[in-house]
Structure 1
Amino acid sequence: MLAFDDNRLASLLFGHYGQNLALIERRLEVVAEQRGNHVALEGSREACEQARHVLETLYGRLKKGADLGPGDVEGVIREAASQGFLFDFDPAARRQSFDEISLRRRPVRARTAAQDAYIRALKRQTLVFGVGPAGTGKTWLAVAYAVHLLERRAVDRLILSRPAVEAGERLGFLPGDMKEKVDPYLRPIYDALHDLMDRAYVERALTSGEIEIAPLAFMRGRTLSNACVILDEAQNTTSMQMKMFLTRLGENSHMIVTGDPTQIDLPPGQTSGLAEAVDLLSDVEGVEVCHFSAADVVRHELVGRIVAAYDGRAPTPSADSRNRPR
């Protein structure tokens, strides 16, 4: 039996109509019965101890003024599960919590073991590859770390790039000038910036050049010093484009490359620069490759099941067969 002294925070902890308790029940296979600001847990010894850890951790965050959503609950559940049997927990051998990125707006905490490894790699390496399916937080965490560096003046600017590859749509027929044509391809990066920083500051930084968002083609010939540079959707780069991008690295700069090798939109016969770079650079000093899987999806829980279903089907057709006329 657990008791929480603040009725208002207890209500936020349990969630609307008890949705947070229901999520804990499903994930940890316990029965959580709410009685006012008390919760009775029933289940195996390990499961009940993990559920207790989850509830007390979340309540502690609420007491510090943090917001609490389903994703935060899911993250603490995964964190508890990664620690194994808590009665045998050895603080000297295991970390007690996932790592986080400190931002002015709010801290960004890893929600899975893969995200935890990714954040730690970002903090210690110059070039980091984040490779895995959609919804695992690769781009969002990369932007969060870039914002962290900018806020602490560890770098002078952020440069965020994507290859503007046509995925069934014709770029030339889109309305507007070049910026208006490519902006839709870069929208996920804009969304991440606005989620992690004050919107007015983002707009000022974009105007001043402190934050630059540009198609990959605009990187050619530049030397990017004192900057954090992110290349998103890198599976859609060619070998030459990837080499061109990686060799832009200048003094006091960091590079983060993210992509999903299962969603390649390149024309027939072209090798993905991401796959080639991961293969060539995995053992190079200063480079680290972080892999994500369907188990690391942190969007709606259905997304993880969708990714797993696609991964478990017959092998994905090659680029040649995907682009063959039907």
Structure 2
Amino acid sequence: MAEQRITFHDADIARELFGAQERNLKLVRERTGAEVNVRGTEVLVRGTEEAVAWAASALVQLYELYRSGYTWVVQEMEYALRALEKDPQADLSGLFRDEVFAVSPKKTISPKTLGQREYLQALRTNDLTFGIGPAGTGKTYLAVAMAVSFLLQRKVKRLILTRPAVEAGEKLGFLPGDMMEKVNPYLRPLYDALHDMLDFRKVREMLEGGVIEVAPLAFMRGRTLNDAVVILDEAQNTTPEQMKMFLTRMGFGSKAVVTGDVTQIDLPARTQSGLIQALKILQGVQGIGVVHFGDEDVIRHSLVGRIVQAYDRYNRELQTDSDQST
């Protein structure tokens, strides 16, 4: 058994760090298995050497981060514990301060997990990046943030967001309106990301001026996209032909990002996913980055991560049963 005593000199920051009704300290106890006792602004951590080191590192690093002026986010303790679980030597200041895009002086977008940080590095350094993983890992959101940042810095002239309009139980033909109005519900998550980063009027002006374009994948055929960031979302629902068509749209001065979750394919049975095929074909090609996210990168409600894990276990059990029956 080991123990470590930590004294926090700023009482206000300490209270913020501990959370309402010591919510954050309860989370530290649950995740690390360490015993955490508080008296005023002093914390005593007891447990195995590994648990004490993990808990103390999270508490000390976050305290120093907040003391330096970093804005508090409710889920920060969860993110910090996940990052340190994956890499005990992780620098939380470097991780959380890796700013992508300043929405306003009080709101910035930055990576919250090591997987997200790796993803941002891939986006910066590669002309084509694949982001693969479950819902809630920030694949599309961070790609849009980086693209908007490039756009506002005039590194590119256009931002193009696209998705395959695949029917997942609902039929497009029964929706009202023309073709664009029918597919707009499929593109809504892309609009939501934009409106979270830019005010509504700015988004409308950019859409009307063609600086930002949100369109179904079918509208990309026959085009060459220069000086643009082009993002293909939900790429697991592309056919091999659609994926090849998209990847060959890149022009001079452009970056392309492909995001998808290979466990959520809505294509008809026996139709191969263009995303899965592309990952095999393009393996090892220079200038292409591939980042795989795990459930530890899920940054929605903590329950989402547990749901992803439960489905993964279920699918593994089904595969095991199938292998045994054959």
With structure 1 as the length reference, what TM-score do the two structures score?
A: 0.86
Q: What letter matches 1:230 in structure 2?
A: I
Task: Select the residue among 31, 36, 46 that pairs with 1:32.
Answer: 36
Measured in 1, the distance between the counterparts of 2:263 and 2:125 equals 28
**CA 1:280–1:315: 2 relative to 1, 3 Å:** same
Which residue does the alignment assign to 1:44?
48
Over 3 Å counting, the alpha-carbon distance change for 1:47 and 1:314 in structure 2 is closer
Structure 2 length as normaliser, TM-score? Answer: 0.86
Is 175-184 or 213-222 further displaced after alignment? Answer: 175-184
Counterpart CA distance in 2 for 1:27 and 1:102 is 29
2:107 maps to 1:103: no
Of residues 124-133 and 110-119 in structure 1, the stretch that sits farther from structure 2 once superposed is: 110-119
Structure 1 residue matching 2:176: 3-state secondary structure:
coil
Aligned equivalents of 2:317, 2:219: Cα separation in 1: 32
8 A contact 1:165–1:265 mirrored in 2: yes
1:175-324 equivalences under 5 Å are 175-314=176-315
1:56-75 correspondence runs (5 A): 56-75=60-79
Q: Which moved more, 1:216-225 or 1:287-296?
A: 287-296
Distance 2:71 2:239 in 1: 41
Whether 2:167 is the aligned partner of 1:166: answer yes
User: What is the CA deviation profile of residues 119-152 of structure 1, one whole-angstrom value per residue up to 9, with x for unaligned ones?
Assistant: 1111111101111221222111211211221122
Unaligned runs of 5+ in 1: 319-326
Q: Which AA in structure 1 matches 2:46? A: E
Q: Structure 2: 5+ residue runs without aligned partners? A: 320-326
User: Cα 1:83–1:266, aligned 2, differ >3 Å: closer, same or farther?
Assistant: closer
Is the 8 Å Cα contact of residues 30 and 42 (structure 1) preserved in structure 2? yes
Q: Give secondary structure in 2 for the equivalent of 1:274.
A: helix
Percent identity over paired residues: 49
- The amino acid across from 1:67 in the alignment is T
- Residues 102 and 109 in structure 2, CA contact (< 8 A), matched pair in contact too: no
Cα deviation for residue 16 of structure 1 reads: 2.1
Q: CA RMSD in A?
A: 2.5
Distance 1:307 1:287, change over 3 A: same
- Deviation sequence 1:227-282 (CA, Å, 0-9, x none): 11100000101111111111100111000000111111112332111001111012
Q: CA deviation at 1:316?
A: 9.9
